[in-house]
A and B are shown apart, each in its own frame.
Chain A
Amino acid sequence: MSSPTAVPTASAAPRPDLPLDPEAAISVRGLVRRYGSSTAVDGLDLDIHRGEIFALLGPNGAGKTTTVEICEGFRRRDAGEVRVLGQDPATGGRRWKAQLGIVLQSGAGDSQLTCRELVRSQASYYSDPRDPDEVLELVGLTEKAGVRGRALSGGQRRRLDVALGIVGRPTLLFLDEPTTGFDPEARRQFWSLIRSLRDLGTTMLLTTHYLDEAEALADRVGVIARGRLVEVAVPSALGGRGSAPAVVSWTEDGVRRTHDTHAPTALVAELAARFGGEVPDLAVARPTLEDVYLRMIGQPTPEERTA
């Protein structure tokens, strides 16, 4: 690896000063996109390494879809440099697209074709596709293989979108809110699908509003707010979460007690000694991803709101 940004670090802040990373699956510098007078993406820098799952988090309208669709070649940019698999997406041709899998936020459209026919026709656009029936199995649509696209439920349609996105055996898979409308079981099944794709070496850029999804799947998380990337980190370290004090709470004399500490183990040992065994209602908590996320995007956390 020739570039320092190619080494995943716990908290790799955006590096606008560095040149595009040719080793990265996606490399973005100073990306700007305006719609009329409003700026949707406002100087965004990003490197996504080959083989990693990168989750982009951010509130509605933060600029996630705009960024992702610029990388996919669907949208123009007003400024900045973008390389996706070494190619400027604005000029990417068929061979470049053959390496991508794209699941759009808006879905793949309506059809009178059955799920199996749709996945098969999609497979025929690639030279080395996955087996369509296996793909339907992977997304849990085997029973619906003979049902027409427009007769599917919302969550089933979304699974079909995912099937269409992966059947071409992509090197780089874009997933823009892929699990919207999934029931909990489908979401777990999707997670294991994503993990098995990662094991096969697929790079993935995922946007989601589900923090548990980002935490469960992503190697790194980027938080985007008002068109800027405010932080990039591994999920457990986001917002200084890893080094934040733990909150130890217990009940003593009928009163709930809490204590912030960097040495929770010592405190718990001390409490255990004092109570001579079980500490009533003992809990040790770190700030959740949701806590740090809401703080990062400038919203009050639930506790702050009730306080």
Chain B
Amino acid sequence: MTAVQQQPSLPPLGAVYRTRAGVELKEFFRQRESVVFSLALPVILLVVFGAVLDYDIGLGIPFTQYFLPGILAAGILGVSLQNMAISIATERSDGTLKHLAGTPMPRSAYFVGKVVQVLATTVAILVILLLVGRVFYGVGLPSGTDWLTFAWVALLGAAACTLLGIAVSSLARTGRSASAMITPIALVLQFISGVFFQFSQIPTWMQTVASVFPLKWMAQGFRSVYLPDALAADEPAGSWELGRVAIVLGLWCVAGLVLCVLTFRWQDRGTD
């Protein structure tokens, strides 16, 4: 005879999602390192590099107007890919993830919380950078349909980089090693993807390398918003290639999602 099992009910999904969203926002904004690293650093870079590299890139357009779209893309990379890779690796190595896996929390709730965190920080970094660009360097806000382009590049880019960041987190043993691995990669990508330098001045083979990764395409998409169409001639294809931007970022979303599903672990390797 088997005892009658009273299966307990479970709380509604929406309530748990709200809890996780709150938890993730508090975890991010209360940690000085993550706020400085993800939110303050791009602003400092924009102010410093904008002041130093204030030359004319043609048609009387200052470099800052080229730099702002690049730093917007780099800012998104920071709050999504770098932030996810480091925070999830940390939570995996300190046992937070294992603890959660031992509760009835729906596993989707963990990712919903992370997505809310990335969305909130993406909006924060974009607003801050737009304001700083406007106040310090007089770079105008996008107008009309440019907002639409701005929005989908930001969203698709953040989605691709978030998924990639979650996948990459599994490669590192600790948050520290994730940071040591991902920070130099992000820095190199920023140099070769048209953030700190004009993409047309980067050696062709480096352009080719950069074209594999999402950052180059995000920066290019944002440039289409900020620069006159005449300057599209400086792009490798001679145009903004917005269709291609969407395809590459979309493909990274798919690849990132597949990698997440295949590699995500709730506890350290070798402890199961």
Interface residues of chain A, those whose CB is within 8 Å of chain B, are: 2, 22-23, 50, 72-76, 85-86, 94-95, 97-100, 102, 104, 106-113, 117, 120-122, 124-128, 148, 164, 168
Contact = CB atoms under 8 A, between A and B. Distances in A.
Interface string B1-33: 111010111110001100110110011001100
Nearest to B270: A35
A127 B99 contact: no
A124 B2 contact: no
B102 A100 contact: yes
A112 B98 contact: no
B8 A128 contact: yes
B96 A109 contact: yes
Nearest to A86: B5
Given A95-B8, A125-B16, A127-B11, A102 B23 contact: no
Contacts of B98: 74, 104, 106, 109
A75 to B, nearest CB: 6
B146 interface: no
Contacts of A121: 19-20, 22-23
Given A2-B1, A86-B5, A128-B8, A112 B30 contact: yes
Contacts of A2: 1
Given A2-B1, A73-B102, A110-B96, 20 more contacts: A22-B2, A74-B101, A75-B271, A98-B8, A106-B95, A107-B95, A109-B98, A109-B99, A110-B94, A112-B27, A113-B30, A120-B19, A124-B15, A125-B11, A125-B16, A125-B19, A125-B103, A126-B11, A126-B103, A127-B8
B91 interface: yes
Nearest to A102: B102
Contacts of B102: 72-74, 97, 100, 102, 104
Contact of A127 (B1, B3, B10, B106): B10
Contacts of B8: 95, 98-99, 126-128
B267 interface: yes
Nearest to A100: B102
A212 B221 CA distance: 68
B267 A74 contact: yes
Contacts of A104: 95, 98-99, 102
A126 B103 CA distance: 8
Nearest to A25: B3
Nearest to A87: B5
Contacts of B27: 111-113
Interface in B51-103: 90-91, 94-99, 101-103
A72 B103 CA distance: 10
A173 to B, nearest CB: 12
B14 to A, nearest CB: 11
7 contacts: A2-B1, A74-B272, A109-B98, A124-B19, A125-B19, A127-B11, A148-B30
